[in-house]
Chain A
Amino acid sequence: SAVISQKPSRDICQRGTSLTIQCQVDSQVTMMFWYRQQPGQSLTLIATANQGSEATYESGFVIDKFPISRPNLTFSTLTVSNMSPEDSSIYLCSVAIAGKNIQYFGAGTRLSVL
């Protein structure tokens, strides 16, 4: 398995501002992913964070709203830009180890937008 640290664990933000969430894993992993979990709902994949290249976004998610970086094999960031109350959700980072499609999740970032 992998130990995943996500920061911040929670935040309350004003509309129109941006928040950057960090994800750090304790070992080199092939794949890193970002998910959104709206209150009481399931997990929806936002994008796959690719090391050294642009992230791959799922339908309904765009880079201008959710820019992602992955400068190395153990670290990624997700920015939620120009926030509105509809962005209030849990944002989760997950990782998969090379050759295996098992995904491990961080504890998540609980975001409230006022």
Chain B
Amino acid sequence: GENVEQHPSTLSVQEGDSAVIKCTYSDSASNYFPWYKQELGKGPQLIIDIRSNVGEKKDQRIAVTLNKTAKHFSLHITETQPEDSAVYFCAASTPLLSGNEKLTFGTGTRLTIIP
């Protein structure tokens, strides 16, 4: 099955600086890669996603890049703000024989923005 590795597990960044979180996946059939933000006491919230036919996607201060050949994708947050502090999860979606899709999650990155 799919295996998703995520690094780093913790990341502290000065407010205003950029943060980068990296993930690798193992199954070349995976074709959709969402990123979720989970704040304390809440469920994961989808913040950005990318499909396998696209190399980069940007939404204001957040961007995601995908390298299909190397099987890795990254989340970039620029001009970080205190409200960016949370746990971030990457995931890879793999099509199944049943026709459904299965999401496999990375182990998470705890991002702390230092004021």
Contact = CB atoms under 8 A, between A and B. Distances in A.
Contacts of B107: 41-42
What range describes how many residues of B lie at the interface?
Answer: 20 to 34
Contacts of B36: 105
B42 A108 contact: yes
Nearest to A105: B43
A108 B100 CA distance: 23
Interface string A1-41: 10010100000000000000000000000010000000001
B101 A101 contact: yes
B44 interface: yes
A102 B43 contact: no
Could you tell me the dominant secondary structure of chain A's interface residues?
A: strand
B106 A106 contact: no
Interface in B86-106: 89, 93, 98, 100-103, 105-106
A93 to B, nearest CB: 8
B26 to A, nearest CB: 16
20 contacts: A6-B43, A41-B108, A42-B89, A42-B105, A42-B106, A44-B105, A48-B100, A56-B98, A96-B101, A101-B93, A101-B103, A102-B34, A102-B49, A103-B34, A103-B46, A105-B36, A105-B45, A107-B42, A108-B42, A110-B41
Closest 4 CB pairs of A and B: A105-B43, A101-B101, A107-B43, A43-B105
Interface of A: 1, 4, 6, 31, 41-45, 48, 56, 92, 96, 101-108, 110
